[in-house]
Amino acid sequence: MTAEPLEIGAESVERRLLARDSSLAERIRVYRRGESLEIDTSSFYRITRHRVLFEEVVLATLHRGRSWRSVLGLALVGLCLGSVVSVLTESNGGETALWIFGPPLVFSIIGYLIPDWVLSVQSRRTWTRMRFGARRTKARRVFDELVAAIRETQGRLAAERPAAPVARSPFAPPPAGELERPERPFDEPILPPPGAPAEPVEPVEPMV
Amino acid sequence: MTAARPQRSLLCPRCRLPLPDFTEWPPENTCAACGTSFEAIAFTPTTPLVRSPVAISHAPAFGAEGASGGSEEAAGATACAQHPSHAAVANCSRCGVFVCDLCRIPLDALELCPACFDRLSREGSLAAVETQFFDASGLALTLGILGNLMSCFGIVVGPPVIFLALKGLAQRRAWREAGGRAGPIFAMVLGALQIVISIGFIALMFAGIAMNADGKKP
């Protein structure tokens, strides 16, 4: 319909990194692009992209999390290494085990004590989670920014959306003014006046 | 991190179990399952997941006026090419066919019909619907670090590292990403460094060979 060539798939809005997260298998980056969040999950050098649209968001949460996984993992690694060393070394096995077992345990406890601020955004189809570590101020700032943007987007769409046609039940009374009823005084009889010819009644055949 | 399945209830941000359906969300909530207390703000999206097209009783010939204006008047509107009982609200930006609100696929600044959307998606022409990418800067960074640990192979690994880092920079530019160039630039520096170290190794090796050939001690 248009004469000039179209720029198909142009993503005109710049995107900005909000948070990143990583696990043993994948690295996750959450960006904000216009009225949506883009989540890039990188696993084995393959990026998979998801989007959370602000117009579909139903819940945004912010909480302080503490992860037992890192504590347990580091403590188990330290315990295994310490056990191996204490078995293999005959002299001063306990001291060596303490030197090997101690630092991972201390690091895990410090890691547990440092709060982990987590922001989650749930939409009707997708959801995403952002971890900010100990950066409470940044987590709060991003949370407030996203809440304001989601409210602005949904409010604008609600204002732009035309009113939906009202579905009417067939048993509901018709709206006022739609059905014209003839005016009839209260004293007017409903029955036919006396002397009027009666309507012929068909004879009913008896059932056999 | 993400789940692409339809979600019917609100979930706890930690344990992902369904939360009770609060009518009024208090500012501080606690999940009954895991005990996590969290601040929550609920929204009521008004955009329907599936749009409902406007029905028409009869359709005049194609090309009638008022078809592409998104008119709410169903009487006299042009019919959708796929659904004769639905009023057309737009034309496909690629093929020009009339589409109803059910068929219309708005994408960036385009209005596409399902057939054109499928075709362009298959061709890979729609950047907005692509969900799989090659992580060039990630691979460049890994190869850059590994190549510096084994610098003797730097002359072989270094150029691919620089190539991948440049590709990563081009990807970031295509995605219109603000910032995020530190990784590829660092990988490029690592690639250049391992090339220099590798050339130094080779130069030293040839110098040693030359000295041995002359009968001198290197």
> Are B44 and B74 a contacting pair, CB within 8 Å?
no
Contact across the interface for A46 and B134, Cβ inside 8 Å: yes
Chain A hits for B125, Cβ within 8 Å: 8-9
pLDDT confidence of residue B136: 92
pLDDT confidence of residue B3: 41
Q: What is the pLDDT of residues B27-45, one digit of tens each?
A: 777 887 787 888 888 888 8
Chain B hits for A154, Cβ within 8 Å: 43-47
Position A62, amino acid: L
Contact across the interface for A58 and B42, Cβ inside 8 Å: yes
Angle B154-174/B136-149 helices, nearest 10 degrees?
160
pLDDT confidence of residue B217: 55
Nearest by CB to A59, from B10, B49, B68: name it: B10
**What are the DSSP calls for A62-77, one per residue?**
EEEE--HHHHHHHHHH
Contact across the interface for A31 and B177, Cβ inside 8 Å: yes
Complex confidence, ipTM:
0.71
**CA nearest B97 in A: which residue?**
A1
For residue B86, give Cα distances in angstroms to A134, B105, B115: 54, 15, 17
- Report pTM: 0.68
Of the candidate ranges A57-66, B17-26, B28-37, the one whose mean pLDDT is the lowest: B17-26
Contact across the interface for A127 and B7, Cβ inside 8 Å: yes
* Separation between Cα atoms, residue B39 and residue B37, nearest integer Å: 7
The more confidently predicted of residues A111 and A170 is A111
**CA nearest A48 in B: which residue?**
B132
**What are the DSSP calls for A77-96, one per residue?**
HHHHHHHHHHHH--TTHHHH
Q: Does residue A7 carry a pLDDT above 70?
A: no
CA A88, A94, A96 angle in degrees (round to 5)?
Answer: 70
Q: What is the pLDDT of residues B127-152, one digit of tens each?
A: 778 788 899 999 999 999 988 888 77
